[in-house]
Amino acid sequence: MPSCPCGSPADHAACCGPYIAGRSAAPTAEALMRSRYTAFTLGDEAYLRATWHPDFLPPDLHLADDPPTKWLGLEVKRHEQQDAEHAIVEFVARYKIGGRAHRLHETSRFVRIDGRWLYTDGDIHPR
């Protein structure tokens, strides 16, 4: 992979790869959010589940049942560390399904537990 799907110029092995492989924990909520985006592009449901706070985790993600998605890019608009254990990340993810373009604009909430950032939930911004 020439560059990481999260938009970093670094290659996947030096960017999100170590987090997704479980070799290290994402150091910030933004790094976790970027690695989760990359996991979506790879269809890595196990990583997504492992980085979702258990109180907010849906029973099943059904990624394999979703229509084929072509991920086009990620733009991080804002990363705000609220305190030592809480952060938000606002982003726009662009993708295509069946040739039709879509965008997800979300402000996501993260919590750090035992030194690991976890996604809790987020607010979708209307177009």
| Cα angle value 126/89/39 (rounded, 5°) | 95
Convert the pLDDT of each residue in 10-25 to its tens digit. 999 999 999 999 999 9
Is the pLDDT higher at 108 or at 59?
108
Q: Measured on CA atoms in the order 96, 89, 125, 58, is the torsion positive or negative?
A: positive
User: In terms of pTM, does the model score above 0.85?
Assistant: yes
Which string of b and e fits 52-62 if b means at least 16 CB within 10 Å?
beeeebeeebe
Spatial CA neighbour of 33 closest among 94, 84, 78: 78
pLDDT at 2: 55
pLDDT at 67: 84
Convert the pLDDT of each residue in 52-106 to its tens digit. 999 999 998 888 888 889 999 999 999 999 999 999 999 999 999 999 999 999 9
- Residue 19 is inside which H or E element, if any? helix 17-20
Q: Which amino acid is at 16?
A: C
List beta partners, residue 87: 81, 110
pLDDT level of residue 1 (50, 70, 90 thresholds): very low
Convert the pLDDT of each residue in 24-57 to its tens digit. 999 999 999 999 999 999 999 999 999 999 999 9
Write down all domains in the chain, each with its CATH number in brackets. Answer: 12-124 (3.10.450.50)
pLDDT at 63: 83
